[in-house]
Amino acid sequence: MKTQKDIDTNQEYKYGFTTDIESIRAPKGLNEDTIKFISNIKKEPKWMLEWRLKAFNRLKSLKEPNWQKPKYPKINYQDLYYYSAPKSASEKPKSLDEVDPKLIETYKKLGIPLLEQKRLSGVAVDAVFDSVSVATTFKEELTKKGIIFCPISEAIIKHPDLVKKYIGSVIPLSDHYFATLNSAVFTDGSFVYIPPNVRCPMELSTYFRINASETGQFERTLIIADKGSYVSYLEGCTAPMRDENQLHAANVELIALDDAEIKYSTVQNWYPGDKNGVGGIYNFVTKRGACRGKNSKISWTQVETGSAITWKYPSCILQGDNSVGEFYSIAITNNHQKADTGTKMIHLGKNTKSKIISKGISAGNADNTYRGLVDIHNKATNSRNYTQCDSLLMGNKCGAHTVPYIKNKNASSTIEHEATTTKINEEQLFYCNQRGLNQEEAVSLIVNGFCKEVLQQLPMEFAVEAQKLVSISLEGSVG
Partner 1 sequence: MLNIKNLKTTVNDKSILNGVNLEIKSGEVHAIMGPNGSGKSTLANVLSGKNGYKNSGDIIFNGENLNEVSIEERAQKGIFLAFQYPLEIPGVNTNNFLKTSLNTIRKARGQKELDTLEFLKLVKNKAQELDIDEKFLSRQLNVGFSGGEKKKNEILQMKLLEPKLSVLDETDSGLDIDALKIVANGVNSSRSKDNAFLIITHYQRLLDYIKPNFVHVLSKGKIVKTGNSELGEELEKSGYANI
CA–CA dist 470, 460 (Å, integer): 16
**Which CB atom, from 125 or from 392, has the smaller least distance to partner 1?**
392
Residue 478 beta carbon to partner 1: minimum distance, rounded to whole angstroms: 12
Amino acid present at 324: V
Residue 367 beta carbon to partner 1: minimum distance, rounded to whole angstroms: 24
Q: Pick the binder of partner 1 from 57, 169, 448, 471 (CB under 8 A).
A: 448
* 451 near partner 1, judged by CB under 8 A: yes
CA–CA dist 187, 217 (Å, integer): 8
Q: Pick the binder of partner 1 from 76, 197, 378, 425 (CB under 8 A).
A: 425
Residue 83 beta carbon to partner 1: minimum distance, rounded to whole angstroms: 44
Closest CA to 252 of 242, 266, 241, 272: 266
Residue 362 contacts residue 391 (beta carbons within 8 Å): yes
**Which CB atom, from 118 or from 423, has the smaller least distance to partner 1?**
423
**Which CB atom, from 309 or from 455, has the smaller least distance to partner 1?**
455
**Which CB atom, from 214 or from 440, has the smaller least distance to partner 1?**
440
**Which CB atom, from 450 or from 462, has the smaller least distance to partner 1?**
450
**Which CB atom, from 213 or from 439, has the smaller least distance to partner 1?**
439
Q: What is the CA radius of gyration of the chain?
A: 22
The size of the interface with partner 1 (CB under 8 A), counted in residues, is 23
Pairing relation of β-strands 315-318 and 280-291?
Answer: parallel
**C-alpha distances in Å from residue 471, one per residue of 308, 371, 448:** 18, 24, 8
**C-alpha distances in Å from residue 65, one per residue of 218, 246, 281, 365, 445:** 18, 18, 18, 24, 38
Residue 119 beta carbon to partner 1: minimum distance, rounded to whole angstroms: 28
Residue 275 contacts residue 238 (beta carbons within 8 Å): no
**Which CB atom, from 155 or from 424, has the smaller least distance to partner 1?**
424
**Which CB atom, from 408 or from 448, has the smaller least distance to partner 1?**
448
* 436 near partner 1, judged by CB under 8 A: yes
Q: Pick the binder of partner 1 from 138, 313, 370, 450 (CB under 8 A).
A: 450
Residue 420 beta carbon to partner 1: minimum distance, rounded to whole angstroms: 10
Stretch touching partner 1 by CB under 8 A, among 40-48, 153-161, 166-174, 422-430: 422-430
Residue 330 beta carbon to partner 1: minimum distance, rounded to whole angstroms: 12
Residue 377 beta carbon to partner 1: minimum distance, rounded to whole angstroms: 35
* 430 near partner 1, judged by CB under 8 A: yes
Residue 230 contacts residue 260 (beta carbons within 8 Å): yes
* 438 near partner 1, judged by CB under 8 A: yes
Residue 83 contacts residue 34 (beta carbons within 8 Å): yes
Stretch touching partner 1 by CB under 8 A, among 60-68, 181-189, 208-216, 434-442: 434-442
Residue 434 beta carbon to partner 1: minimum distance, rounded to whole angstroms: 5
φ, ψ of residue 239 to 5 degrees: the values are -155, 155
* 396 near partner 1, judged by CB under 8 A: no
Stretch touching partner 1 by CB under 8 A, among 246-254, 373-381, 437-445, 464-472: 437-445
Pairing relation of β-strands 132-136 and 123-129?
Answer: antiparallel
Phi-psi region at 277: left, alpha or beta (left = phi > 0; alpha = psi -120 to 50): left
Question: Taking the CB of residue 90, how many other CB atoms lie within 10 A of it?
Answer: 11
CA–CA dist 8, 3 (Å, integer): 14
Strands, E assignment, 239-348? 245-248, 251-256, 261-268, 280-291, 297-304, 309-312, 315-318, 324-333, 338-341, 344-347
> Any idea how long the chain is?
479
Question: Taking the CB of residue 43, how many other CB atoms lie within 10 A of it?
Answer: 11
* 453 near partner 1, judged by CB under 8 A: yes
Q: Pick the binder of partner 1 from 49, 445, 463, 478 (CB under 8 A).
A: 445
Torsion angle of C-alpha atoms 88, 91, 96, 98, degrees rounded to 10 = -60
* 449 near partner 1, judged by CB under 8 A: yes
3-state secondary structure of 163: helix
Residue 365 beta carbon to partner 1: minimum distance, rounded to whole angstroms: 23
Residue 207 beta carbon to partner 1: minimum distance, rounded to whole angstroms: 29
**Which CB atom, from 41 or from 437, has the smaller least distance to partner 1?**
437
* 441 near partner 1, judged by CB under 8 A: yes
Q: Pick the binder of partner 1 from 31, 213, 381, 428 (CB under 8 A).
A: 428
Q: Pick the binder of partner 1 from 43, 158, 409, 435 (CB under 8 A).
A: 435
Q: Pick the binder of partner 1 from 427, 468, 472, 477 (CB under 8 A).
A: 427
* 357 near partner 1, judged by CB under 8 A: no
CA–CA dist 430, 432 (Å, integer): 5
Closest CA to 290 of 254, 266, 343: 254
* 432 near partner 1, judged by CB under 8 A: yes
Residue 440 beta carbon to partner 1: minimum distance, rounded to whole angstroms: 10
- Site residues (CB under 8 A) for partner 1? 425-428, 430-439, 441, 445-446, 448-453
